[in-house]
Amino acid sequence: MSKIKYSAIIGSLGQTYDRFMKCGYKDPELDKVEFPDVIKNLEKMQVLQGADLYQAPTGPLSDPDTVNEILTKSRLEASSVLPLVFGERRWQKGSISAADPEIRKAAMKLIKQNIDFNAKLVGSPSVDLWLGQDGFDYPLQTNYSKQWDYLIKNVRELADYNPEIKLTLEGKIREPRNRSLVDTTMTALMMCMEIDRPNVGVAIDTGHVFQSQQNVAQNIEIAARYGKLFMMHANDNYNLWDDDMIVGSLRLTEYLEMFYSLRKVQYDGFVSVDIFPYREDQYEATKQSVLNMKKYDEAVDRIGFERLGALIEEGDPCKITAVVREALFK
């Protein structure tokens, strides 16, 4: 078995909304659920080692000492923290790559506060730069060269602000912008090369890779080749959109390949469940996601890591199909 740890992104474990159900899909009482209760519910599942957080302006999630106390009691650790530079009206035209210098300044200030917050958390988790509003919607709307330059210079400045804190660029092809600036893992890697700081890497989200019609295992191995695989997020979708469904509810062989590649590159960090269970029980959906992933990881042992490697070198899809079927459906 690998040394992978599992966590869950807490931002989608409460009320869930979309543009058709602005009142929320869940019981309104969920709007009142606080961070300590979410962590207790995650602890009860007994399948996680961590929680992916965000820094709130007020309440328990605004104070690192309180966060440390709550997580320690539940024997969990913060796996990553997400700066909220996408969900307010002021970020609608971007954050650290926005054309407006005052918006860029405000985004940098917020992310630096997030870096300070992370530095006080047990384990000093990474800061995930998912820049959902940084991109464009229409042709002839954006100075692409300046936008790229703003991002490179600002991430470099953030990296130098505290070199002990890792920063991850998370690629996503689109949403909420029609075209994202950090659109794929490969774009994120190219940015990492230009930023040229050891504490800047990538977070690979399986659903974002599927949405961009790419292969997760390939993304993993290329990112690891350059020492930039810092974080993994896991979910499932139908390739057309970032559906954020239960991990492994649609795919089997691709997730088996993913865990083979994670073993191959000796990844021992977190795989964080990043789902949006609109109509499902959010904790049960999270638990089933982790249990699925553990079985995929076990399947690498059942088939044999070395045997899988040999099959890949041989490259015969008929033989691979037979081996996977016989191992999983005896």
- pLDDT for res 291: 98
Which of these, 100, 125, 120, lies nearest to 50 by C-alpha position? 125
Residues 247, 263: Cα–Cα separation, whole Å: 18
- pLDDT for res 180: 98
Residues 165, 123: Cα–Cα separation, whole Å: 10
pTM for the whole structure: 0.97
CB 76 within 8 A of CB 49: yes
Residue 323, C-beta contacts closer than 8 angstroms, at least 6 positions apart: 303, 307, 311
For residue range 56-92, list pLDDT tens digits in order: 999 999 999 999 999 999 999 999 999 999 999 999 9
- pLDDT for res 33: 86
Computed on alpha carbons and rounded to an integer, the radius of gyration of the chain in Å comes to 20
CB 275 within 8 A of CB 289: yes
Residues 287, 243: Cα–Cα separation, whole Å: 18
Dihedral sign computed on CA atoms, order 111, 117, 121, 124? positive
Which of these, 327, 275, 263, lies nearest to 1 by C-alpha position? 263
Domains of the chain: 5-328 (3.20.20.150)
For residue range 252-275, list pLDDT tens digits in order: 999 999 999 999 999 999 999 999
Two tokens, residue 275: 């789902």
- Going by their DSSP bridges, the two strands 229-234 and 126-129 should be labelled as unpaired
Residues 257, 266: Cα–Cα separation, whole Å: 14
For residue range 116-170, list pLDDT tens digits in order: 999 999 999 999 999 999 999 999 999 999 999 999 999 999 999 999 999 999 9
CB 122 within 8 A of CB 68: yes
Residues 272, 293: Cα–Cα separation, whole Å: 11
